[in-house]
Amino acid sequence: MSAGEDETCSSSGVAMKASNDAHCPQHVLEFLDQKFAWKVESIVAVPSAQQYVWILQIIQPNTDGQEDNSRANNVESSNGWRDMSHSALEMGTSQVVIRMWRGSARWWNLNSSKDEPVSLLELARAEVAGYRMAHDILTIDSSPMMLHQPQVLYFSHDTNHEVSHPYLAPWAMFSYVGATSQHYTPSKNGTHWRCDNGTFAATMIKTRHEFGFHEPHPRHGRVCTEHSLAYGKKLLRTILFPIHHWFFQLHGLRNKTNNDGGQSEHRNEHVLHDLGMYPTMNHPKDGGARPRRYIDMIHLYEEALQRISQISHGNIIDSKLDKIIQLLGPCLERLRLDAKYHGLEEEDEQKQTIPSVLCHLDLQPQNLIFKRALDPPEDDTIPEVASVLDWEEAAFCDPRFELLL
């Protein structure tokens, strides 16, 4: 669950109830009041596995009140924060989303394989970085595929300001892009869309059988087999192609600049470093890890296959695991042959044939907000993507890592 869900129904179709006393930490509410002169009218608690999530209804400061207005004027006005927050509140119908990372949260993705333990703050920085990159890339007015990406309005542990509560769990404030935002209000912005409101996510099935055995999803379910190809194509067109295009352009610009004898660091490269996998000029290799490459992907799969092969129950291999091993073995061999044919066995990141990109790594329906046309086409089975949420597993790596589930 994530930064775009509304108080009626989450992106996965889970009903929620508004509450005036949902538990949002007092230090967060005091911070919003003291720093931004914001009063909170109501709070909605949103179910989430890895974070605490609340949707706050904000009472904006009275412009006639000198005290509140003075405090509001002092809030990071030099870097345009007030304009950004005003726009976010207007589009979000005076709602914002607060996310606080849990002490029990784990990093399930590629970044968790670093030698040193991953801290809660590292996890939070990486997810915030994913949201920031996605907003910059996918929220482009001139693009016909423009999405409504949540914008990071504030992050408690950003390095460009004093950390208000350094010893407390990191938290962030996002713009609200859910069903009751103005993105779906025709009278406000002439939209021709309505929020899907979890309808498509509710069609997911608990068990698929194409691997030769029951493969249940532990929580939400999976896209049914007959819709998987169309679903994957839609994600490629609306999410992955724009992201890959952005990074491929950046890669070409960097190569051209370096070949001309200059040095260049894109304004978002410091954000990529927060993903834990990118050595920029300000963060050299001895201070950070490199992106995951194609050959690394094969090594990870080989390690996973080895671990699975060692699992047994009283010397009798589980039939499901046995089928997984039978499937993965030939697939890995094909990947090895492909890497050898293309000379990727010892691929140097400085000579990558395909640039590293931002990968979400969990593009399942429950992590997306969908929209449907007010005048729908004849085949409206799979709605259009409106927002990409839950960047908690994001990584900077070879685009072939991305999974379309």
Residue ranges of the alpha helices (H) in 210-351? Answer: 225-235, 241-259, 269-273, 294-309, 319-341
User: Given pLDDT bands bounded at 50, 70 and 90, which one contains residue 254?
Assistant: low
Task: Give the span between the Cα atoms of 247 and 352, in whole angstroms.
Answer: 13
Higher pLDDT, 77 or 242: 242
Q: What integer pLDDT is reported at residue 243 of this predicted model?
A: 92
Q: What is the Cα Rg of the chain in Å?
A: 23
Q: What integer pLDDT is reported at residue 234 of this predicted model?
A: 92
Q: What integer pLDDT is reported at residue 71 of this predicted model?
A: 54
Task: Give the span between the Cα atoms of 291 and 53, in whole angstroms.
Answer: 30
| Maximal CA-CA distance, the chain | 77
Q: What is the mean pLDDT of residues 358-385?
A: 88
| Whether pLDDT at 226 is above 90 | no
Q: What is the mean pLDDT of residues 7-16?
A: 36
Closest CA to 323 of 333, 308, 307: 308
Q: What is the mean pLDDT of residues 141-151?
A: 77
Which of the given ranges, 311-325, 352-366, 391-405, has the highest pLDDT on average?
Answer: 352-366
| Whether pLDDT at 312 is above 90 | no
